[in-house]
Amino acid sequence: MFKKQVKMNKNSKIYIAGHRGLVGSAIVKNLESKGYTNLVYRTHKELDLLDSSAVAKFFEVEKPEYVILAAAKVGGIVANNTYRADFIYENLQIQNNVIHQSYLHDVEKLLFLGSTCIYPKEAPQPMKEDSLLTSPLEYTNEPYAIAKIAGIKMCESYNIQYGTNFISVMPTNLYGPNDNFDLEKSHVLPALLRKMHEAKLNNAPTVEIWGSGKPRREFLYSEDMADACVFLLESRDFRDTYEIKRDENTTCSIETVKNIEIRNTHINIGTGVDISIKELALTIKKIVGYNGELYFNDTKPDGTMVKLTDPSKLHALGWKHTVELEEGISRVYEWYLKTEGRLK
C-alpha cells in the first residue's frame, strides 16, 4: 500500500536540503512563520550531499520525518552550457543520495524541487505537466534538465515500487530575497533590478537590455513558491498527483498501481500569467526610480519567445499565488537595498 499520510505537527522533524538558497530560505521562513520548530539543515561544509556515506550517516543520526530537497547545482545559460558534466553529475548524485536515504529511513514525505526547464524547447504554451518528454529539450541546459527529469522519475518509481510518498514540484522563474544579483550569472529580473539601481546611483543616461524586449516570461515570488510547497507537504500526497477515480479515503494497492501507467505526477508551481521583457523592464524602472532611457539591443538573441506554465493542476489541488509581480518586485528591491544594493 502507499504510505498513509501522517498529519504533520509543529514538532515534526523536517530536513531542508539547500536552506540558504533562494528556494530553501523561503521555505524555511514559511515553515517558521507557521510555527514549525523542529527544522534541520546543514551547510555544504557540514554535509556534502555528493558524499553517499555522509548522507547515509546524516539520515541514520537525525532520522528526519519529512524531507524538502531544494539543494541543487544551478547556474545561468553560460554555466549550464560550459560545465555540462558537472551539472548532470552533481544534480543526479545529490538526488540519488537524498531520495534513496529517505526511502531507507522511512521518511513520511519528501518534496523534490525541480524547474520548468524540464519541458521541451517547443512545448505548447502554456506548458502542462503532460508536455514532459514529448520532444527535444533546450540544448544549453539539457544536462541539468535531464537530471531533474530523472529526479521526477525516481520519485515516481520509488512510490510505485516501494509505496513511498514523494512529490515533485516544478516552479517557474523565481525571484525574491536571497536571489543571485551577479550581472554575469543571475537571471533576467534580478539582473535588470541591479543594473537600473546602479544606473540610478551613477546618473547613467541609458541602460542596455539584450534583445528586442518582445519575449514573454512568467515570474513567481519565492515566498509564494514556498507557501505552495508547504501547502503540498501539509495536505497532499502522491496519490493526489495523478488521476484515478476513487473515494477520498481509498488507498490504491501497489499491485493495482503496477498495472496502470502513472506518468507526469509532477506539479507546476506558477502564476499562469506572463509579461514581456520590455514590460518587465519598465516596471522595474518605475519601482527603482530610474529616470534614464532603456535601450533594447536587438542585435542580441531573444531566446524562446514565450515560456509560460499551466498551473491548473495546482489550482485544482487547492492553491493559487497571492503576490502579484509589481508588489513582489517592490519587496525584492526593499530587501536588496538593505543587503546588497549599497555595496560597490
* Residues annotated as catalytic (active site), given as ranges: 144
Contact (Cβ atoms closer than 8 angstroms) between residue 214 and residue 264 = no
Contact (Cβ atoms closer than 8 angstroms) between residue 2 and residue 252 = yes
Q: Which residue, among 294, 267, 238, 78, has the nearest Cα to 170 in the 3D structure?
A: 267
Query: How far apart (Å, rounded) are the C-alpha atoms in residues 195 and 249?
Result: 53
Q: Which residue has the cell 518587465?
A: 280
- How many CA atoms does the CB half-sphere of 57 hold within 13 Å? 9
* Ramachandran quadrant class, 303 (left: phi over 0; alpha: psi -120 to 50; beta: rest): left
Show the CA angle centred on residue 307, arms to residues 242 and 82, nearest 5°: 100
Q: What is the maximum alpha-carbon separation in the chain?
A: 68
3-state secondary structure of 171: strand
Contact (Cβ atoms closer than 8 angstroms) between residue 90 and residue 73 = yes
